Amino acid sequence: MAFKKIDRRTKKKIRIQKKIKGTAERPRLAVFRSLNQIYGQLIDDSEYKTIMSVSSLSKEVAEDVKNAKGKIAKSAIVGELLAKKAIEKGISSVVFDRSGYQYHGRVKALAEGARKGGLKF
């Protein structure tokens, strides 16, 4: 049963990535969520390079994440940090890649946190 769920998400992820491509000017914001953590990466698909990465395990947000109540609040904090770091690198616009997850809960909170931080989708 669990294997079918993984296969379904993987198929969705492949379908999404056929349509979405990140460039140096407008990188792809890829989201990955594990059971307890959330990760966000800015990826330049033309050069196959990760520009930057932020997670709920990052030292910059360790104190805020520790004090946050719930996983959704942690995700919003990670999104804001991602936006802050991206703007420092001169990136203001991204393409959002939800990686086959529903745009709901933690994924949505990360996206809204990034928007709040100043990124444009």
Measured distance CA(50)–CA(18) in Å, rounded: 18
Mean pLDDT of 62-86: 93
**Residue 23: per-residue pLDDT:** 85
Confidence of residue 3 (pLDDT cuts 50, 70, 90): low
**Residue 2: per-residue pLDDT:** 62
pLDDT in tens, 10-54: 888 888 888 888 888 899 999 999 999 999 999 999 999 999 999
Supply the pTM of this predicted model.
Answer: 0.87
Measured distance CA(76)–CA(100) in Å, rounded: 19
Answer whether residue 1 shows pLDDT above 60: no
Q: Which domains does the chain have, with CATH numbers?
A: 16-117 (3.30.420.100)
What 3 state SS string does the chain have?
CHHHHHHHHHHHHHHHHHHCCCCCCCCEEEEEECCCCEEEEEEECCCCEEEEEEECCCHHHHHHHHHCCCHHHHHHHHHHHHHHHHHHCCCCECEEECCCCCCCCHHHHHHHHHHHHCCEC
